[in-house]
């Protein structure tokens, strides 16, 4: 895997509104690697890996989210390639269980 790896934490009204499914759809559409999951604190966490410009665009899209969501903030930071190991075996992009 070469390129950028970014981990994002999205807060606001992002659970119960199809946010994870929207992230999965967008990431697969852009052929990104990574994962997305809900967190018990009500936020959504995601990891995106791929070409830097596409990863940056995905992070920007997360600031808007699907029409039913209300995004208050997106924390964005670099991540290690090891973080990709959370994916399910054989999947480029996974929806993970809540943590």
pLDDT above 90: percentage of residues in the chain:
98
What residues does 11 pair with on adjacent strands? 73
Sign of CA dihedral 18, 19, 20, 22: positive
d(CA 42, CA 64): 17
d(CA 16, CA 64): 16
Give the residue numbers annotated as catalytic, written as ranges. 20, 38
Other beta carbons within 10 angstroms of residue 73's beta carbon come to 10
Angle between the N-to-C axes of helices 52-62 and 19-29, in degrees from 0 to 180, rounded to the nearest 10: 160
- Predicted local confidence at residue 2, as pLDDT: 58
The stretches in the chain having pLDDT less than 70 are: 1-2
Choices 1.10.287.3510, 3.30.70.100, 3.90.420.10, 3.40.190.10: CATH for 4-80: 3.30.70.100
pLDDT above 70: percentage of residues in the chain:
98
- Predicted local confidence at residue 94, as pLDDT: 98
- Predicted local confidence at residue 50, as pLDDT: 97
């Amino acid at each position: 895997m070469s390129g950028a790896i970014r981990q994002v934490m999205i807060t606001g009204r992002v659970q119960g509104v199809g946010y994870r499914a929207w992230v999965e759809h967008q990431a697969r559409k852009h052929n990104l690697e990574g994962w997305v999951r809900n967190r018990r604190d009500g936020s959504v966490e995601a990891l995106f890996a791929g070409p830097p410009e596409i990863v940056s665009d995905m992070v920007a899209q997360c600031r808007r989210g699907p029409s039913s969501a209300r995004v208050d903030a997106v924390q964005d930071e670099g991540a290690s390639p090891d973080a990709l190991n959370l994916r399910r075996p054989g999947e480029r992009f996974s929806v993970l269980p809540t943590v």
